[in-house]
Structure 1
Amino acid sequence: MITEHALLPVISGQEEDFEAAFDRARLIIASMPGFASLSLSRSIETPNTYLLLVQWDSLEDHTVGFRGSPQYQQWREILHKFYEPFPSVEHYELVDSAPR
């Protein structure tokens, strides 16, 4: 399992429109092979910054499968107009965790 970590800097004043657009766009990513789950969180200290965490079965499911798909072009069309600057995206493998 791979976690995609993306910090999304949304243009100030467009947060509400971004959240509505993301609600539509999440259906696109959720339909992709290898998608497991996602969460979108809004920063308390910097309210126009969002943290997107997406769980993928493999790195290639995101980097090749999703990003190389026609669905990614739809995702881009819906969301990329909200970002300034463009988001930073990294991938992580779980090293350790602790249940509640």
Structure 2
Amino acid sequence: MTLEELKAKADQIKKDANAVIDGIDQNEMDEDAVNWADLSCTEVWLNLDDDKPSWMITVEEASPDSSNLAAYIHNELTRFGHDVWVRCEW
């Protein structure tokens, strides 16, 4: 992939992640500590350290322990064709 294609992929991942976040039913995610008013994907990273490059996103305004939220976003992003590791932080 060219640099422009990688940037476009990152932009699409961020757009799709925020669409997933916007569609979450807060009542179904009440186990995790989340600031729903400001929850969003703020960063997309490409990890080139491994044999196979991998994508990671940062979702801000959720506890780093928000495993249910992270798993939900990851699973929904696979429906968009993205294999992305999700990291939550305040």
Fold-level match, TM-score > 0.5? no
* Greater fraction helix: 2
Q: Which one has more relative contact order, counting CA pairs under 8 Å at least 6 apart?
A: 1
Aligning the two structures, in what range does the TM-score lie when normalised by the shorter sequence? Answer: 0.3 to 0.5
Which structure features the higher share of strand residues? 1
User: Whose radius of gyration is greater, 1 or 2?
Assistant: 1
The normalised TM-score by structure 2 is 0.42
